[in-house]
Amino acid sequence: MVEKNLKAAFHTLGCKLNFSETSAIGKVLSERGVTRAARGDSPDIIVVNTCSVTETADKKGRQLIRRLAARYPEATMVVTGCYAQLKPEEVAALEGVDIVLGSNEKLKAAEYIDKWLDSRSKQIDVTPFREIEGFIPSCERGDRTRYFLKVQDGCDYFCTYCTIPFARGKSRSGTISQLTEMARAAADEGGKEIVITGVNIGDFGKNTGETFFDLIKSLDKVEGIERYRISSIEPNLLTEEIIRWVARESRAFMPHFHIPLQAGSDLVLKKMNRHYDTSLFESRITMIKDMIPDAFIGVDVIAGARGETREEWEKGIAFIESLPITRLHVFPYSERPGTAALLLGDSVPPSERHRRVNTLTAISDRKFEAFYNEHIGSEAEVLWEHPVRGGEEMHGFTRNYIRVTAPCRPELINTLSRVRLTGHDTSDPDSLRAQIIQS
């Protein structure tokens, strides 16, 4: 068994699902007697949960691993996540890496640490993606107030630019009864908000015969959970039925949507092997804003994908400008080894990709500022998360995901308050200032 009194440090790159899984790894190690290293401690174990959505993500992973190995040369280093799954030998060759675990092995980290401590021989275990079948749900809080409920993993879509199916395996889920019970347990621990996470969560239930809509209706009935957020959902899987239910019937699902678009051109979407066109995407956005005018809508966009000629790029920009969305999450296209996109023509030079990123970012900034400006002077309900800026201030989020700051009152953390949004926070461009009017 892992020795007691060991201290572990955890580092996570990438998506909300990764953060949830890192917390689950930490829980497994905690059950074996390993404590979380405090700031300033020298950890005995380092767990790095990596991302590989772009080449930049791989690079950040390598840089982090090298930095940690140089700083803590005596620590046992475990590297897992998508980068480890896709390129295990490359990761294993990095200085200081002792254990490399694929997506199917990450929650068995304690077992591999035992093997390393016994033999001091490098441990590498990665299941081929087509053989990844297991699903281990988790509902973890980590260092945050919000809980992250992992309901689904893997993806069957195989978009031409994407490596996630190779890193995560096929789509699979937990059961509604199992996940609802986890939400109840979070409520019993004092949890107020849960973010529903997964790789392609709208595809929930392919292995159980259940549906995502049935899942969220079940979760909505859990007493004590005041808020749910859907981390990201494909537009073709965000049905009109779901939108109508969130708008009119749901008790606790927030007016907050994150919907990947990836490109505003039908030709580019077809080359990407996306499962919708711009007409369907626009219809979903229009329905949300008609039924929930104050909804926050975040949208993912890739800049400079193969096939995005100047003409298609200009079509895409016009389409994105026309949408009543709140914010863009912009990613420069990244060439990923083994993806079908490499067989497509019309490669966009890196300098032009960078220019397109800047254009999309400017559009996002304008839309985001306009959304915030619409809410200055209004009242809202905020769930306070944790202190910021040395403990002098705290932050939280409104129902529609406006980040707010106010002077810290520790007794309000993880509680709901009525506030008035008074203006922009000059120290934080992503926040509005809030005056508490009822707590």
pLDDT digits (tens, 9 = 90+) for 199-216: 999 999 999 999 999 999
CA-CA distance, 124 to 18, in Å (whole number)? Answer: 20
Instruction: For 7-127, give the CATH class.
Output: alpha beta
pLDDT at 390 over 80: no
pLDDT at 184 over 90: yes
pLDDT in tens, 48-76: 999 998 888 999 999 999 999 999 999 99
Tell me the average pLDDT across 391-401. Answer: 93
pLDDT confidence tier of residue 342, bands split at 50, 70 and 90? confident
Sign of CA dihedral 183, 179, 113, 96: negative
CA-CA distance, 337 to 355, in Å (whole number)? Answer: 24
Tell me the average pLDDT across 381-394. Answer: 85
Phi-psi region of 205 (alpha: psi -120 to 50; beta: other; left: phi over 0): left
pLDDT at 388 over 80: no
Relative to beta strand 193-197, strand 147-150 is parallel
Which of 252, 87, 277 is CA-nearest to residue 180?
Answer: 252
pLDDT at 1 over 60: no
Structure tokens at 120: 């001091």
| Cβ–Cβ < 8 Å for 271, 245 | no
- In this structure, what DSSP letter does residue 201 have? G
Q: What is the pLDDT of residue 129?
A: 87
Kindly give, in sequence order, each residue whose CB lies less than 8 Å from that of residue 63, ignoring residues fewer than 6 positions away.
Answer: none
Count the Cβ atoms, other than its own, within 10 Å of residue 163: 22
Break the chain down into helix, strand, coil percent, rounded to 5: 40, 25, 40
Q: How far, in whole angstroms, is CA 376 from its chain's centroid?
A: 28
Give the 3-state secondary structure of 10-43. Answer: EEECCCHHHHHHHHHHHHHHHHCCCEECCCCCCC
Instruction: Rounding to the nearest 10 degrees, give the CA dihedral for residues 63, 67, 68, 73.
Output: 130
pLDDT in tens, 357-370: 999 999 999 999 99
Count the Cβ atoms, other than its own, within 10 Å of residue 33: 13
What does 123-189 look like in DSSP terms, one character per residue? EEE---GGG------EEE-TTSSSEEEE-EE--S---TT--HHHHH-S-EE--HHHHHHHHHHHHHT
| Fold assignment, 138-373 | pyruvate-formate lyase- activating enzyme (3.80.30)
pLDDT in tens, 206-257: 999 999 999 999 999 999 999 999 999 999 999 999 999 999 999 999 999 9
Q: Where in the chain is the domain with CATH 3.80.30.20?
A: 138-373
pLDDT in tens, 74-110: 999 999 999 999 999 999 999 999 999 999 898 899 9
Mean pLDDT of the chain: 93
Compute the residue count for the chain.
439
Long-range contacts of 210-213 (CB under 8 A, 24+ apart): 210/173, 210/175, 210/176, 212/237, 212/242, 213/239, 213/241, 213/242, 213/245
pLDDT at 113 over 60: yes
CATH of domain 376-438: 2.40.50.140
Count the Cβ atoms, other than its own, within 10 Å of residue 342: 13
pLDDT at 266 over 90: yes
Q: Where in the chain is the domain with CATH 3.40.50.12160?
A: 7-127
Which of 197, 99, 97 is CA-nearest to residue 140?
Answer: 197
What does 102-131 look like in DSSP terms, one character per residue? -TTTGGGHHHHHHHHHHH---EEE---GGG
pLDDT confidence tier of residue 3, bands split at 50, 70 and 90? low
Q: What is the pLDDT of residue 344?
A: 83
Structure tokens at 392: 């002098």
Identify which has the larger pLDDT, 399 or 341: 399
Q: What is the pLDDT of residue 133?
A: 82
